[in-house]
Copies of this chain bind each other. A is one copy, B any other.
């Protein structure tokens, strides 16, 4: 068996998210189908990705792996990349296919995920509308950025996560930066060891409440004490969000990282 690493991107608009679902068009489903076809496999392979994105969420730095029991893996990687380039529909692209280093696991070896969210509080540029969410109310970006700094570090982000049975909601938020771009849009960039379900969109939704002055900093910080998400917290629209990049440790640290990540995250 040889493990391959795929770096890929997609426009999430016409996908029901990453994860394969019978009868629905998903990124995983589309890729597995096409990989099976272009390599003439008896059945489609199984792909594992770094960040399972929701319906409508985009990616340009998604990473996935798959295992294949075929000869000449280096040649196979080149062949697969070339054939996928021709075969894939235009809303998903595989930028590179490589033989993965020993111990690599797209999901469990990742040490961080970086997402960007773009929003507009003015007239939305039609050319940006597929990847930028229009928000009501003028946003004070410095205020939004400042409020966000209180969320950095290791916390239980239950208030920002859609509940999933038996899954922890403890995460380490490593970076949160909001800025107004030269084109007047607002960009919120976040990096964490991992994100739970809908966490980035919940973070952005809550931060916008503070940025518009509808809520204050203490409301935001108070959310860290909540045990579950309440219906009061807005979730920002999916189409403003892009998975930009996934970080991995150096090759000699891969196996250690995988073991560590498989263990359930707990507060110290």
Contact = CB atoms under 8 A, between A and B. Distances in A.
A31 to B, nearest CB: 12
Contact of A127 (B85, B95, B242): B242
A93 B9 contact: no
Interface of A: 9-11, 58, 60, 85, 90-95, 122-127, 129-131, 242
Contacts of A90: 124, 126, 129
| Copies per assembly | 2
A58 B126 CA distance: 9
A92 B124 CA distance: 9
A11 B129 contact: yes
Most buried by B among A11, A126, A130: A126
B85 A126 contact: no
A124 B86 CA distance: 11
A248 B127 CA distance: 24
Contacts of A85: 123
Given A58-B127, A93-B126, A127-B130, 16 more contacts: A9-B126, A10-B126, A11-B126, A11-B129, A60-B125, A85-B123, A90-B126, A90-B129, A91-B129, A93-B123, A93-B124, A94-B123, A95-B122, A95-B123, A127-B131, A127-B242
A122 B9 CA distance: 13
